């Protein structure tokens, strides 16, 4: 199985190893994703593949595309092709580990329990993902398969559980030697083990790593008495976790991801499609939310909170906003009162020295709808700037004065946040530099009503 390794937002720099028929199938698969996500996962032009903001793996038949986040590529000016093969392999290993950490911290994938530092030799993200799943499976269920009480009805030579009288009285005299019983069996043949068995079978089919195939086969042999079942995406709703089974929740989520990827799995003629992909815009959004909630606990952060800009006009009714819905990434509250709006932007605009007009107008609309004086754009610190990047715009909205606010001003700020700690690992909390910077922006009274004049850039 051939794997084409790409970074996000590559502009067709590598020639595709796919045949014309495989490229047509790839285009059809992208159409399937576009109908769901309203955006492209990739595009194909003149036999070359152009990637977008999605990362992960896409498999068409026996060939696979691995897309890694360019955020973890230190050669941002296209110098990666000059690296030696060992240097490239090291770069890909680092990217896979960092991507996996980012997905886990953001809650996009289940929190893994095995040590991530011992992995990296796998040839692509999918094999890396499988290896962690198998290690968690061996650690949690290696000594004993999960047992669960399953309700059963059966004809037995002795009474077990409850006797089903309605069934028993309908029997012919020749059948009186058995009893119709209803009982609970403490069994390994339960829905959770059937799901895991199906995931192991998928690994044995799709994995190109002999080590992963061998590990999946070994564990499958322990499940030979478990019934084979066709699993559907809604299978997860059938599980109810309690205090004793809570540690198995991650295995269930991992299994569903392996079976269905990011819900993109299909068959078209001789080609079978499969994708395990993630939109980095959404991943970065959820990652920032996690860091803010961990690091700025004096505030509450409402995620994807609906706001409205307008209402139906009628001179005889009380004003109430109910139309033109806008949804900022985060609404910041202090003691229940909205004080700021935050929007995350997974792009290098701030590193390039500007805030786009579209982002500026978007934050203006959010501020008006939220009736707050502070709007904050957060970008990733791609180039590891020592002092951080900052931009600020002060807007006077004299035409939007209200009885409560005779002076309506909005501070629109942009900040970059560090993603890596000193050891090059993905941060689990905001850096102290970023905590101080964000607190000063969110605290609108200090920013807007202080004695010092506002200015562009940091102190």
Whole-angstrom Cα distance, residue 19 to residue 32? Answer: 20
Work out the average pLDDT over 271-296.
89
pLDDT of residue 372 exceeding 60: yes
Q: Strand 300-303 relative to strand 337-344: parallel, antiparallel, unpaired?
A: unpaired
List, in sequence order, every beta strand (DSSP E) within 223-336.
264-268, 271-279, 300-303, 307-310, 323-326, 330-334
Residue 301's pLDDT band, with cuts at 50, 70 and 90, is very high
Of residues 374 and 265, the one with the higher pLDDT is 374
Question: Best-predicted range by mean pLDDT among 93-102, 198-207, 419-428?
Answer: 198-207
pLDDT for residue 213: 92
At 85, list the tokens.
Answer: 């093969």
Work out the average pLDDT over 6-29.
80
pLDDT of residue 374 exceeding 50: yes
Q: How far is CA 257 from CA 95, 139, 213, in A?
A: 20, 19, 17
Minimal CA–CA distance to 283: which of 43, 27, 29, 67? 67
Percentage above 70 pLDDT, the chain: 77
The three-class DSSP label of residue 341 is: strand
Residue 449's pLDDT band, with cuts at 50, 70 and 90, is very low
Residue 215's pLDDT band, with cuts at 50, 70 and 90, is very high
The DSSP H or E segment spanning 206 is helix 191-206
Question: Best-predicted range by mean pLDDT among 209-223, 268-282, 355-369, 433-447?
Answer: 209-223
Work out the average pLDDT over 83-112.
82
Condensed to tens digits (0 to 9), the pLDDT of residues 381-412 reads 865 554 556 677 766 665 455 545 555 678 88
Minimal CA–CA distance to 274: which of 8, 25, 61? 61
The three-class DSSP label of residue 385 is: coil
Work out the average pLDDT over 162-173.
85
pLDDT for residue 451: 40
User: What are the chain's domains?
Assistant: 2-143+191-280 (no CATH), 148-187 (no CATH), 296-448 (3.40.1350)
Whole-angstrom Cα distance, residue 157 to residue 406? Answer: 87
List, in sequence order, every beta strand (DSSP E) within 8-62.
11-15, 42-45, 48-51, 54-60
pLDDT for residue 79: 59
Other residues' Cβ atoms within 10 Å of the Cβ of residue 169: 8
């Amino acid at each position: 199985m051939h794997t084409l390794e790409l970074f996000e937002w590559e502009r067709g720099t590598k020639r595709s190893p796919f045949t014309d028929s495989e490229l047509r199938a790839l285009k059809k698969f992208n159409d399937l994703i576009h109908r769901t996500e309203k955006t492209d996962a990739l595009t194909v032009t003149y036999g070359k593949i152009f990637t977008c903001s999605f990362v992960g793996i896409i498999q068409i038949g026996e060939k696979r595309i691995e897309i890694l986040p360019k955020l973890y590529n230190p050669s941002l000016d296209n110098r990666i092709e000059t690296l030696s093969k060992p240097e490239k392999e090291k770069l890909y290993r680092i990217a896979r580990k960092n991507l996996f950490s980012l997905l886990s911290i953001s809650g996009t994938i289940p929190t893994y329990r095995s040590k991530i530092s011992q992995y990296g030799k796998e040839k692509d993200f999918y094999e890396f993902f499988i290896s962690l799943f198998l290690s968690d499976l061996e650690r949690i269920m290696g000594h004993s398969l999960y047992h669960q009480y399953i309700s059963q009805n059966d004809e037995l030579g002795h009474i077990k559980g409850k006797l089903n009288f309605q069934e028993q009285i309908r029997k012919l005299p020749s059948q009186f030697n058995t009893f119709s019983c209803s009982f609970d069996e403490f069994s390994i043949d339960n829905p959770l083990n059937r799901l895991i068995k199906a995931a192991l079978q998928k690994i044995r089919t799709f994995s190109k790593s002999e080590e992963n195939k061998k590990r999946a086969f070994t564990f499958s042999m322990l499940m030979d008495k478990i019934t084979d079942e066709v699993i559907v995406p809604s299978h997860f709703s059938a599980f109810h976790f309690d205090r004793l089974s809570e540690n198995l929740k991650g295995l269930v989520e991992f299994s569903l991801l392996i079976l269905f990827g990011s819900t993109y799995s299909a068959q078209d003629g001789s080609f079978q499609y499969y994708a395990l992909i993630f939109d980095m815009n959404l991943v970065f959004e959820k990652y920032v939310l996690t860091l803010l909630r961990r690091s700025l606990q004096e505030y509450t952060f409402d995620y994807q909170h609906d706001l409205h800009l307008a209402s139906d006009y009628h001179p005889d009714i009380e004003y109430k906003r109910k139309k033109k819905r806008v949804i900022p990434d985060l609404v910041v509250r202090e003691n229940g009162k909205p004080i700021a709006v935050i929007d995350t932007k997974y792009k290098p605009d701030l590193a390039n020295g500007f805030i786009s007009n579209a982002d500026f107008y978007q934050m203006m609309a959010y501020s008006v709808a939220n009736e707050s004086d502070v709007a904050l754009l957060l970008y990733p610190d791609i180039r590891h700037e020592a002092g951080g990047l900052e931009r600020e715009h002060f807007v006077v909205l004299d035409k939007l004065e209200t009885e409560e606010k005779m002076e309506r001003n909005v501070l629109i700020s942009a900040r970059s946040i560090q993603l890596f700690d000193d050891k090059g690992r993905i941060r689990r909390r905001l850096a102290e530099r970023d905590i101080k910077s964000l607190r000063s922006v969110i605290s609108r009274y200090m920013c807007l009503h202080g004695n010092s004049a506002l200015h562009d850039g940091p102190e």
